[in-house]
Amino acid sequence: MLITITNTADEATDLGFLLHKNPANLHSADLAFGKAHVFYSSATAQRCTACLLLELDPVELVRGAQQLEDYVNDRPYVASSYLTVAMGRIFGTALAGNCQKRPELVETKLPLELTVEVIRARGGADVLRKLFEPLGYHVEAAPIPLDDKFPDWGESRYFRLTLKACVTVHDALSHLCVLLPVLDEEKHYYIGDAEVDKLLRHGEGWLGKHPERQLIVQRYLKRRSSLVDQAMARLLDEENAAVEVVESRTEQAALAEKDLERPMTLHTQRLNLVATRLKTLEAKTILDLGCGEGKLLRRLLADRAFERITGMDVSHRSLETASSRLPLERMPERQRKRVHLMQGSLLYRDKRLSGFDAAAVIEVIEHLDRPRLVAMERVLFEFARPRHVVVTTPNREYNVLFPTLPPGKLRHGDHRFEWTRAEFADWAGAIGVRFGYQVSFEPVGPVDERHGAPSQMAVFSLTAGGAQ
Ligand code: SAH
* Ligand 1 pocket residue status of 295, Cβ below 6 Å: yes
Average pLDDT, the chain: 84
Nearest CA to ligand 1 atom 13: 292
Residues 6+ apart with CB under 8 A from 368: 346, 347, 376, 416
Q: Which of 204, 272, 295, 314 to mutate to test the pocket of ligand 1 (most atoms within 8 A of CB)?
A: 314
Instruction: Tell me the pTM.
Output: 0.52
Nearest CA to ligand 1 atom 16: 290
* Ligand 1 pocket residue status of 246, Cβ below 6 Å: no
Structure confidence at residue 407 as a pLDDT band (50, 70, 90): confident
Over residues 202-206, the mean pLDDT reads: 89
Contact between 411 and 418 under an 8 Å Cβ cutoff? The reply is yes
Over residues 450-457, the mean pLDDT reads: 94
For every residue of the chain, which 3-state class applies, written as one string? CEEEEEECCCCCCHHHHHHCCCCCCCEEEEECCEEEEEEEEEECCCCEEEEEEEEECHHHHCCCCCCHHHHCCCCCCCCCHHHHHHHHHHCHHHHCCCCCCCHHHCCCCEEEEEEEEEEECCCHHHHHHHHHHHHCCEEEEEECCCCCCCHHHCCCCEEEEEEEEEECHHHHHHHHHHHHHHHCCCCCCCCCHHHHHHHHHHCCCCHHHCCCHHHHHHHHCCCCHHHHHHHHHHHHHHHHHCCCCCCCHHHHHHCCHHHHHCCCCHHHHHHHHHHHHHHHCCCCEEEEECCCCCHHHHHHHCCCCCCEEEEEECCHHHHHHHHHHCCHHHCCHHHHCCEEEEECCCCCCCHHHCCCCEEEEECCHHHCCHHHHHHHHHHHHHHHCCCEEEEEEEEHHHHHHCCCCCCCCCCCCCCCCCECHHHHHHHHHHHHHHHCEEEEEEEECCCECCCECCEEEEEEEECCCCCC
Nearest CA to ligand 1 atom 14: 290
At the second CATH level, the architecture of 265-462 is 3-Layer(aba) Sandwich (3.40)
Q: How remote is the CA of residue 373 from the centroid of ligand 1, in Å?
A: 13
Q: Which of 238, 364, 374, 377 to mutate to test the pocket of ligand 1 (most atoms within 8 A of CB)?
A: 364
Q: How remote is the CA of residue 363 from the centroid of ligand 1, in Å?
A: 7
List pLDDT tens digits, range 235-282: 766 554 433 332 333 333 333 333 333 455 788 889 989 999 999 999
Atom from ligand 1 closest to the CA of residue 292: 13
Q: CATH 3.30.1610.20 spans which residues of the chain?
A: 2-189
Task: Give the pLDDT confidence score for residue 255 in this predicted structure.
Answer: 38
Edge-to-edge strands of the sheet including 339-343?
339-343, 308-313, 285-289, 358-362, 388-394, 455-462, 437-444
Task: Give the pLDDT confidence score for residue 252 in this predicted structure.
Answer: 37
Task: Give the pLDDT confidence score for residue 111 in this predicted structure.
Answer: 96
pLDDT of 58 above 80: no
Task: Give the pLDDT confidence score for residue 393 in this predicted structure.
Answer: 96
Cβ atoms < 10 Å from Cβ of 330: 10
Q: CATH 3.40.50.150 spans which residues of the chain?
A: 265-462
Q: How remote is the CA of residue 57 from the centroid of ligand 1, in Å?
A: 42
Q: Which of 265, 272, 367, 369 to mutate to test the pocket of ligand 1 (most atoms within 8 A of CB)?
A: 367
List pLDDT tens digits, range 310-333: 999 998 888 998 998 888 877 788
Q: How remote is the CA of residue 468 from the centroid of ligand 1, in Å?
A: 30
**How are beta strands 339-343 and 308-313 bridged, if at all?**
parallel
Nearest CA to ligand 1 atom 12: 292
- Range with lowest mean pLDDT among 24-33, 80-89, 142-151, 283-292: 142-151
Q: How remote is the CA of residue 241 from the centroid of ligand 1, in Å?
A: 15
* Ligand 1 pocket residue status of 366, Cβ below 6 Å: no
List pLDDT tens digits, range 333-386: 888 899 999 999 999 999 999 999 999 999 999 999 888 899 999 999 999 999
Task: Give the pLDDT confidence score for residue 195 in this predicted structure.
Answer: 84
Over residues 174-197, the mean pLDDT reads: 80
Atom from ligand 1 closest to the CA of residue 362: 1
Q: How remote is the CA of residue 83 from the centroid of ligand 1, in Å?
A: 33
Q: Report which of residues 153 and 441 the model is more confident about.
A: 441
For residue 452, the one-letter residue type is G
* 2-189 maps to CATH 3.30.980.20: no
Atom from ligand 1 closest to the CA of residue 271: 7
Q: How remote is the CA of residue 322 from the centroid of ligand 1, in Å?
A: 12
